A and B are shown apart, each in its own frame.
Chain A
């Protein structure tokens, strides 16, 4: 065996959460090894030169909620992290008009005024409500979730603190929060706005990564979850990582190495070693056994518990909960190398709108219809799309004058009728570029290279079960103390010495690193 050194901890999976976790453990003086299946770290946050000269954030493409304390604690800017702001959103409409949200607040209000003076005013009030709600929920993100059924004094104390926090919100805001937790995003937005294209664009962020439509209850919360990226207004937490999202992973890996962590790529783990009810190390697929006092999995809950462990290592009810945990990947990605930037009918030529997002969400019906296709096992014929041109913001992503275009597409169900085949994948890719062509005639002739990724591809490449980008659906019944299973949301598992982190654990998905950090604090708190 290559290494005779005894590790304090082995982290399975070199995605951003696994790396954050390893960095925090190493920073606390632990001897840490990260084992990654693929030839490079990053998981779903990787940058690859898919086409010569053109670099893509292959999967995850925006940095939303990366915690500022992680950036500071791990000194990520010193390791090359630079997050560039993503300031505008342009929604082309089917009648040739558009709705734009710009970086400048007043300019956005003026634009909205063009559509509805009433909505322009409501927009500020709505913003304030979401701000308060995000403020109310945000402390929970930084907190290890207490179990409401536990009698452990630590849980009771945390619940008490949480209770006090919610009581402190006052009646009005508490009621608003309950509504937000239970409504559909379409219903919530109906209470505020009359402009359909505005509601559609807002609602779209409530469906990302879920197998729900804008009219499905529970989506209002997801809306808030994404809004939290914007709470830290001045931090500009929403943005692009220079060099693509792979540079976030590289920066964290570099920080982890700086603290002494060891990272081994091309090292797929076959299973976790369990002796006498406790984890004692891992076995790699090549047969190498690596002992350690603590094993931490940053894979999704299904792979963590049902693949890495023997079936009989877990209590039956827990295993059943994990089997019930929903993944239902619903999104795909199309990465394009372009000869030039496309011109949109609604805003012809080149402009600053190319520096922001272009949202293909012309109406609520459009988005709901996209869901209808998926509900019955087909990819959306005219999907909802979130488009960005990373090379405009970070010119290093493409050769000078050329561009890369990233299209996040929903819906593309994992369980598509007849299964994903090469032909189906290309048909899906065609649906995507044909729909963009409707809003930007001539766009198709600019395409130099096309990469289409279905949920099946996402699963195959990153290992995310059913290709769910959040390592488990981001739905209310799978959040907070229920993520991934009731009673086991505190990063510990029924196997002693075996811990979990990653987007499949609290507080969930997005490049935020919070679960990696919180899990590290849990490991360190247990004195391991």
Chain B
């Protein structure tokens, strides 16, 4: 997969990495600034007097509480409280919201809009998005946009212009670092990219692809649809579905809202307790080193993050869950994974074992349940 490769994303192609290896792109996220094209995201503009009401029907968070200029991260569920998708809602003005989604949701929005005074427009093709992530992101945007970003708080947005192009800057991202996403008319996407690269060059800006992003989002403990969870819409069997509680998104479920899709089931689950928990795992280095030393090798580590299902065992040898993403963190010097565990095994510090293939043989390395995110720098919110 490495090097000058492209991958599919929502019917578009995006770069896996711009250089032969994604190393430098990853480090740019954590030490300077990385620029991603995240335009393939699905984007919907929801307008009208009932816009907030529609969104509140669909998502688990309380949209009507959001002020103009605020951005919410939220999942949304089916009637059984199983997660369909997750994304962000930006309140652009009094009655205008932008919803981003990983999957197409136009039909779902229309279905839920019955009887409401609201207009839903799919602006996915019309709106481009560039994501500028990393400790230098603010300095670069500050110069490019000639707007004071010091006051722009985490998960808030502001209107701005760059070289005369009107755009929206939101302090959001998928890296768990200081970062911004710039929303612009698709016609302006290329000039905007060039403007940011030009302004950012003295600050070490680096175009970055999905391989680098994948490492960063695992460190940040951020979920990826169809990798870490299945949309309940695509699941073929019940066991493939997950609730927000099971995905560690309990904080997004506003059970005090009057009604929303899946509320009854989620109230019930909250009372009963969830069967599963989504959590971090840190593989024990000495254990991994021993497994490799047994065959005369130094530890081999994945050079790119993996996205396969890997069994997790309890101390007794019984399988108690599965990891869905994992990889080596070049920053933390730790082998990390994101995993679904049976609730009793998901307490931080619990010792489990993760399957690793050492020289064609299946072995188990010791691992420890670690709260997410693995990496949470102060600058993200500061």
Q: Do B333 and A395 touch (CB < 8 A)?
A: no
Within 8 A of A (CB), among B321-367: 328, 330-334
A257 in the interface (beta carbon within 8 A): no
Q: Do B20 and A84 touch (CB < 8 A)?
A: no
Within 8 A of A (CB), among B153-211: 202-204
Q: Do A72 and B334 touch (CB < 8 A)?
A: yes
Closest beta carbon of chain A to B18's beta carbon, Å = 12
Given A231-B298, A394-B31, A77 contacting B136 (CB threshold 8 A)? no
How many Å lie between the Cα of A499 and that of B301 in the bound state? 37
Q: Do B21 and A232 touch (CB < 8 A)?
A: no
Q: Do A395 and B202 touch (CB < 8 A)?
A: yes
**Of B20, B203, B333, which contacts A400 at CB under 8 A?**
B203
**Of B3, B24, B203, B333, which contacts A235 at CB under 8 A?**
B333
- Count of A interface residues, CB-CB < 8 Å: 27
Closest beta carbon of chain A to B62's beta carbon, Å = 33
Q: Do A84 and B332 touch (CB < 8 A)?
A: no
Q: Do A68 and B333 touch (CB < 8 A)?
A: yes
How many Å lie between the Cα of A393 and that of B136 in the bound state? 13
How many Å lie between the Cα of A69 and that of B330 in the bound state? 13
Residues of chain B lying within 8 A (CB to CB) of residue A393 = 204
Chain A 482-506 interface mask (CB, 8 Å, partner B; 1/0) = 0000000000000000000000000
**Of A85, A231, A396, A400, which contacts B24 at CB under 8 A?**
A85
Given A87-B24, A395-B32, A401-B202, A72 contacting B285 (CB threshold 8 A)? yes
Closest beta carbon of chain B to A30's beta carbon, Å = 23
By beta carbon, the residue of chain B nearest A80 is B377
Q: Do A77 and B331 touch (CB < 8 A)?
A: yes
How many Å lie between the Cα of A71 and that of B285 in the bound state? 12
Closest beta carbon of chain A to B23's beta carbon, Å = 6
Closest beta carbon of chain B to A227's beta carbon, Å = 13
B138 in the interface (beta carbon within 8 A): no
Chain A 374-405 interface mask (CB, 8 Å, partner B; 1/0) = 00000000000000000011111000110000
* Most-contacted residue by chain A among B20, B31, B328, B375 (CB, 10 A): B31
Residues of chain A lying within 8 A (CB to CB) of residue B27 = 82, 84-85
Closest beta carbon of chain B to A57's beta carbon, Å = 15
Residues of chain B lying within 8 A (CB to CB) of residue A107 = 20
B217 in the interface (beta carbon within 8 A): no
Given A69-B285, A82-B331, A103 contacting B202 (CB threshold 8 A)? no
Task: Name the prevailing secondary structure of the A interface residues.
Answer: helix
Q: Do B136 and A395 touch (CB < 8 A)?
A: yes
**Of B24, B31, B202, B298, which contacts A232 at CB under 8 A?**
B298
Closest beta carbon of chain A to B380's beta carbon, Å = 13
Q: Do B23 and A87 touch (CB < 8 A)?
A: yes
Residues of chain A lying within 8 A (CB to CB) of residue B333 = 68, 71-72, 77, 235
Closest beta carbon of chain B to A81's beta carbon, Å = 8
Closest beta carbon of chain A to B6's beta carbon, Å = 18
By beta carbon, the residue of chain B nearest A350 is B201
Q: Do A103 and B20 touch (CB < 8 A)?
A: yes
Closest beta carbon of chain B to A100's beta carbon, Å = 14
Q: Do A68 and B285 touch (CB < 8 A)?
A: yes
Chain B 299-325 interface mask (CB, 8 Å, partner A; 1/0) = 011010000000000000000000000
Residues of chain A lying within 8 A (CB to CB) of residue B98 = none
Q: Do B285 and A84 touch (CB < 8 A)?
A: no
A236 in the interface (beta carbon within 8 A): yes
B82 in the interface (beta carbon within 8 A): no
How many Å lie between the Cα of A401 and that of B333 in the bound state? 31
Closest beta carbon of chain A to B179's beta carbon, Å = 16
How many Å lie between the Cα of A232 and that of B328 in the bound state? 13
A104 in the interface (beta carbon within 8 A): yes
How many Å lie between the Cα of A360 and that of B32 in the bound state? 29
How many Å lie between the Cα of A282 and that of B377 in the bound state? 39
How many Å lie between the Cα of A400 and that of B24 in the bound state? 20
B30 in the interface (beta carbon within 8 A): yes
Residues of chain A lying within 8 A (CB to CB) of residue B298 = 135, 231-232
Q: Do A394 and B32 touch (CB < 8 A)?
A: yes
How many Å lie between the Cα of A395 and that of B33 in the bound state? 10
Q: Do A236 and B203 touch (CB < 8 A)?
A: no
Residues of chain A lying within 8 A (CB to CB) of residue B330 = 85, 235-236
Within 8 A of B (CB), among A211-257: 231-232, 234-236, 242
**Of A72, A82, A135, A395, which contacts B30 at CB under 8 A?**
A82
By beta carbon, the residue of chain B nearest A81 is B331
Within 8 A of B (CB), among A264-300: none
Residues of chain A lying within 8 A (CB to CB) of residue B203 = 395, 400
Residues of chain A lying within 8 A (CB to CB) of residue B3 = 104
Q: Do A77 and B301 touch (CB < 8 A)?
A: no
Q: Which residues of B contact A (CB under 8 A)?
A: 3, 20-21, 23-24, 27, 30-32, 136, 202-204, 285, 298, 300-301, 303, 328, 330-334, 375
Q: What are 29 sample pairs from A and B whose C-beta atoms fall under 8 A apart?
A: A68-B285, A68-B333, A69-B285, A72-B285, A72-B333, A72-B334, A77-B332, A77-B375, A82-B27, A82-B331, A84-B27, A84-B31, A85-B24, A85-B27, A103-B23, A103-B24, A107-B20, A135-B298, A231-B298, A232-B298, A234-B301, A235-B301, A236-B23, A236-B330, A242-B31, A395-B32, A395-B202, A395-B204, A401-B202
Closest 3 pairs (CB-CB, A-B): A400-B202, A395-B204, A104-B20
Q: With A68-B285, A72-B333, A234-B328 given, name 5 new contacts (CB 8 A).
A: A85-B24, A104-B3, A107-B20, A395-B203, A395-B204
